[in-house]
Chain A
């Protein structure tokens, strides 16, 4: 491949090969894909050392994820890798939808101003992983062992798990209190534990070709239904970094994928698509099929499945990698609190309570897109034709065209960790929502609200001042809660932080009045909110959010 130089990470002969007894670690992460690496960075930021085992010694080969959503970028940013992703990634604003020979319509994806992150950026998965590896190494609390393949897993009497690992120099055993199985869709851990992976298998196949354009080409997303150069099928064109474009060709079931993959067959298709004058290099071709499946539960004792090992979706709608990174965002803070003794083990069960519905939402969205792109019945095809025919003239029909929906984060609506509102609030935010971003100033410098929510429980107070005893008692509690004053003027706060709501957007997005407070979780989701600060209510909400209180046990029994 031309445009990208694959890093090779050094394999180091593990010392464990010489040891008589297995080594023991608090957390072992299996898999250095985007999900395992995000988890490692998050643990490191929270002061926890981990071991990452990966069977390879480089980043994701070839073309996979490209579209990283706003919420995922915010998580990467909290982990300290967001800036590079933004710098290298590309933005597109204009989408065009074609049917047959005609352009049906185009749409502008203008992002709402006043957020650090755009709705998404396009960045090849190999870059994403490379930047995460760099960040993990920079944080320095993670030992990534390349070319260490997990080949066996068993449960220990003490509640931990034991893994058997194969290296170029032989095998060894490693034990952990917790294992994160981030070992991808063919998870060996899942297989060895004999766990189900159920759902829909689609017959459809897509051929993906990554090409590097030799001249400038517009930064637009093109989607064709039944183009003249690929009769009866769909084709998607997406721009990535380095002037590399991804083309997805839907393949009819009648063709032989190995035949289709040959450059002598792919190149003429591409030439027919772009016209003879557009010069490009073919970088990568592969054929993929997809399934929409998930495990019944993601936690199995000390083993937690995250990312593709736990669930897979069709690529339409970009919910695979994004959903996986959001899994770790949900899990890691919980695990850290439990390891510190600041929360009981059952907090970890809420990983299932929260991520199962999130996964179902992702599956639902990507299944709907898939059904539109590859209609499964005559009636479904008829309606698609009708939608496309009407879309040319009618806006209402455009809303029905589904070539993949924007990947949005899940709001944990039914979580046992949220405290239901007792005060009135309007707007789209609610307990369980991810916190909204807004431009703010701190220490006189322009910044972003989400950057001030950097990994602890935070009490956001919309006021110009807050009682010092409150701040101190929150900071000294377990878990510790940091106070963030969202003020109209700059100031200082011992044991806390002050940001200035320069444009009033924070107030607007949180429907805040003077005195309004929000309790934000370490993963930047809203746990509770009130119109006035009340330490008793706050303590109750905090107990609930850490699954410590009696109330949360009761709700959990129902929800779990």
Chain B
């Protein structure tokens, strides 16, 4: 499988809102925790190591 970068999220605005809302009222530290847990849950959903590696690489681009 390849990393999808063409649009794939259902109702992108709803997703984005949910993501930002999830952080409401959290301290910076708690926010980092939430992000980390979220990444792990999503990674498990994806499962495919090649895709995960490609996503990690893509996320690091330019940093």
Contacts and interface: CB of A to CB of B under 8 A. Distances in A.
A429 interface: no
Contacts of A378: 32
A477 B9 CA distance: 68
A244 B32 CA distance: 41
B36 A400 contact: no
A382 B41 contact: no
A378 B35 CA distance: 13
A364 to B, nearest CB: 16
A386 B36 contact: yes
A390 B33 contact: no
Nearest to A400: B40
How many chain B residues sit at the interface, stated as a range, is: under 10
B36 to A, nearest CB: 4
Interface string B17-53: 0000000000000001101110111001000000000
Contacts of A470: none
B33 A385 contact: yes
Contacts of A379: 36
A386 B40 CA distance: 8
A378 to B, nearest CB: 8
Contacts of B41: 390
A396 B36 CA distance: 15
Contact of A389 (B32, B35, B37): B37
Contacts of B44: 394, 396-397
Contacts of B39: 383, 386
Contacts of B35: 382
How many chain A residues sit at the interface, stated as a range, is: 10 to 19
Nearest to B47: A396
A399 to B, nearest CB: 9
B63 to A, nearest CB: 12
Nearest to A383: B36
A382 B33 contact: yes
Contacts of B36: 379, 382-383, 385-386
A443 B39 CA distance: 59
Contacts of B40: 383, 386-387, 390, 397, 400
A431 to B, nearest CB: 25
Interface in A376-412: 378-379, 382-383, 385-387, 389-390, 394, 396-397, 400
Nearest to A378: B32
Nearest to A385: B33
B43 to A, nearest CB: 9
A493 to B, nearest CB: 47
B14 to A, nearest CB: 24
Nearest to B29: A382
A113 B36 CA distance: 39
Contacts of A383: 36, 39-40
Contacts of A397: 40, 44
A97 B34 CA distance: 22
Contacts of B32: 378, 382
Nearest to B36: A386
Nearest to B34: A386
Nearest to A399: B44
Contacts of A387: 40
Contacts of A382: 32-33, 35-36
Interface string A240-265: 00000000000000000000000000
B55 to A, nearest CB: 15
B50 to A, nearest CB: 18
Which has the most chain B C-beta neighbours within 10 Å: A379, A382, A400?
A382
A375 to B, nearest CB: 12
Contacts of A400: 40
A203 to B, nearest CB: 23
A506 B39 CA distance: 43
A397 B44 CA distance: 9
Given A382-B32, A382-B35, 17 more contacts: A379-B36, A382-B33, A383-B36, A383-B39, A383-B40, A385-B33, A386-B36, A386-B39, A387-B40, A389-B33, A389-B37, A390-B37, A390-B40, A390-B41, A394-B44, A396-B44, A397-B44
18 contacts: A378-B32, A379-B36, A382-B32, A382-B33, A382-B35, A382-B36, A383-B36, A385-B36, A386-B33, A386-B36, A386-B39, A387-B40, A389-B37, A390-B40, A390-B41, A394-B44, A397-B40, A400-B40
